[in-house]
Amino acid sequence: MPVVSLGILLLALLVALTGCGSHDPLWHMKAQLVVLQLEQNEASAVFPEEFTNLRKVYKQGERLLVDEQDEELADQQFILAYQKGQVLQYELEQYRNRLKEEALQKEIEERSLREEEERMRQEAETIRLQELEVLKKQQQSADHVPAPGAAFQPPQPITSYTIRRGETLPQIAARPELYNDAALWPLIYRANRDQIRDPYQLWPGQVLKIPRNFSREEALDARRQAHRRGR
């Protein structure tokens, strides 16, 4: 059913109601207009109980006017229906404004989350590239053949490591450029006890000291501790 222009409908109501008797048709038209506006704005879907009550009041006014020809009581119902319609229009507008604000806030939060994830991804990629560069330089040093008589200088071992997202101490200890042995993680834990509480819960970006000068007994003790923790 096509939507009738409210202006045309108002004019038609004015012409129709001028012959309904001696009463002023203004409140009748205002009440009917606000009911039609709320119907078009789908108020019944948002506030079904309030809209149903409004229609009952308006229909009661029409019954008093047409069936009982009580113009005074009919106008009272139309005035009440109009007032209820004004309140409902305000509530509907407030409801839709809240929906817009919530949608905007959700969009802002989702954008912030995406930006944070992208920032962390870029940081992790930067760390990865830095580590690859260090490994590349170490490999180049290892492949370098010194001239006859020149003193051989082995590559310096890595003495610090920056934690990446999701890593644990056993994973770090198992890295080839570090210990290549997950069971030696207690060595790293002891050296960084000031900033590590749980070897399985680390924070990305933390820089750990990697002990290098440890004895065979210390390595054996670290493996025993790792074995006990793994039970």
Which whole number is the average pLDDT over 43-67? 93
Question: Across residues 6-28, what is the average pLDDT?
Answer: 54
> Over 60: is that where the pLDDT of 22 sits?
no
Q: What six digits make up the tokens of 89?
A: 């229009």
- Mean pLDDT of the region 23-33: 85
Tokens for 192? Answer: 């960084």
Predicted confidence band at 84 (pLDDT cuts at 50, 70, 90)? very high
Name 174's Cβ contacts closer than 8 Å, sequence gap at least 6: 180, 181, 182
Tell me which of 231 and 55 has the higher pLDDT: 55
How do residues 165-181 score in pLDDT, each as one tens digit? Answer: 989 999 999 999 889 99
Q: Is there a contact between 38 and 54 (Cβ–Cβ < 8 Å)? A: yes
Residue 89 host element (H or E) = helix 71-143
Q: State how far the alpha carbon of 33 is from the alpha carbons of 13, 192, 221, in Å.
A: 9, 75, 87
Could you tell me the pTM of the whole model? 0.44
Report CA-CA distances (Å) from 10 to 17, 26, 28, 66, 219.
Answer: 10, 10, 11, 19, 93
Q: In whole numbers, what is the pLDDT of the chain averaged over residues?
A: 83
Q: What DSSP line would sit under 200-229, residue for residue?
A: TB--TT-EEE------HHHHHHHHHHHHHH
Question: End-to-end distance of the chain based on CA atoms, in angstroms?
Answer: 74
Residue 24 banded pLDDT, cuts 50, 70, 90: low
pLDDT at 23 (0 to 100): 54
107-155 per-position pLDDT tens digit:
999 998 899 888 888 878 888 888 888 888 877 766 655 555 545 455 5
pLDDT band at 36; cut points 50, 70, 90: very high
**pLDDT at residue 95 is higher than 50:** yes
